[in-house]
Amino acid sequence: MNTCGFIDAAVEESLDAIGEALAENGKVVVTGCLGAKEGVVAKVHPSVLAITGPHDTQGVMAAVHEHLPKPHDPYVDLVPPQGVKLTPRHYAYLKISEGCNHRCTFCIIPSMRGDLVSRPIAEVMQEAENLVKAGVQEILVISQDTSAYGVDVKYRTGFVRGKPVKTRMLDLCRALGELGVWVRLHYVYPYPHVDEVIPLMAEGRVLPYLDVPFQHASPRILRLMKRPASSERVLERIRAWREVCPDITLRSTFIAGFPGETESEFAELLSFLQEAQLDRVGCFAYSPVEGAAANELPDPLPEPVKEERRRRFMELQARISAAKLQAKVGRTLRVLVDEPGVARSEGDAPDIDGVVRFKGGKPGEFADVLIERADAHDLYGRRL
């Protein structure tokens, strides 16, 4: 069971999932971030077979071999173990770095994962090429901070198919854009150099999709959050991105009810939302994660206030998202089929965004679908 230990809701969900797995077959090995807090898991679920932390593939494999000894096979025993791909055959996550150099006050990821360590560009590209050879049609670039890729190694030059390429987000996007598959960028902070990637989206080399966790719009709250790139003029930037790439889909996440957030600062957030017209948005009520610096800030808000602000935020965004989807009715969209009848357009990342529903299709196949109607989350149409 891979787990998340970030906010309280994630801890609860992970513990519930471990409970379900135990009820299902009784043999559970726990790994991931919550595994790092061994005591928490052991207290609730003392019967798990082993608890390992993030990145501990060896620990997981050792526990699996201990409880489920591997039959000896002279043919495969000498083959080095490969990573295990958990996604369907046609899309894959490509992790380009681990850790983060920022210290957002609500976040404990740097204390769990450490400072930014970028993977060498040659290694990342090799993995991407292997995935494409194995049939992957969509690569989702992930990290804690994609736009910071290469900062830790001073953008060191590596070699990709004999050509020098810098360990840098723009160069990575260019190289991935040559693989002939969908490339989707997640967790991109709005640093100025992100603007350079937008033309690649307009040219169709990477998907016109940007997942930018803005978290808030009030300058004071952003400062209290110690957010990276918080002073960039976000609305202006969004307008400029849309000028270069009118079809860009913008996804973001926000926190409502951060300690000390006043009603007028929250109103500032709502008016930002109205102005920005983002396509997909998630919002969390502030959750005091154990060990986060923000817990020490003055004037924490009562639970009902945080929850009420989150609700108002989501009501406004639901109207915006629904109108944005409605505007797609009558258009023909290229989609990638996840399962018969369920596909995703360029604007939909797996699991977090909506889907496009139509009759037919095989997993991993592209199709052109005429959109006939929309609801609050999904689009519906017919194949052309």
Binding site for ligand SF4 (CB under 6 A): 100, 102-104, 107, 109-110, 144-145, 228
- Residue closer to ligand SF4 (CB basis): 113 or 324: 113
Nearest approach, Cβ of 102 to ligand SF4 (angstroms)? 4
Closer CB to ligand SF4, 45 or 113, in the complex: 113
- The tokens for 320 are 């915006």
In the complex, minimum distance from the CB of residue 181 to ligand SF4, in angstroms, rounded to a whole number: 27
Cα–Cα distance, 235 to 241 (Å, whole number): 10
Which helix or strand (DSSP H or E) is residue 345 part of? Answer: strand 342-345
Q: Taking a C-beta distance cutoff of 8 angstroms, is the pair 140, 134 a contact?
A: no
Burial class (CB in 10 A: 0-12, 13-18, 19+), 134: exposed
Residues 6+ apart with CB under 8 A from 203: none
d(CA 89, CA 68): 26
Q: Is the dihedral of CA 47, 9, 221, 354 positive or negative?
A: positive
CB of 299 to ligand SF4, least distance (A): 21
Based on CB atoms, which residue is closest to ligand SF4, 174 or 216? 216
Separation between Cα atoms, residue 155 and residue 218, nearest integer Å: 32
**Residue closer to ligand SF4, measured from CB, 186 or 344:** 186
Least distance between ligand SF4 and beta carbon 194 (Å):
14
Question: Which is nearer to ligand SF4, 108 or 322 (by Cβ)?
Answer: 108
Tell me whether residue 145 or residue 268 sits nearer to ligand SF4 (CB atom). Answer: 145
Q: Min. distance of Cβ 128 from ligand SF4 in angstroms?
A: 23
Helices (runs of H) and strands (runs of E) counted in the chain:
11, 18
In whole angstroms, the minimum distance from the beta carbon of 96 to ligand SF4 comes to 14
Q: Residue for token digits 């009848």? A: 341
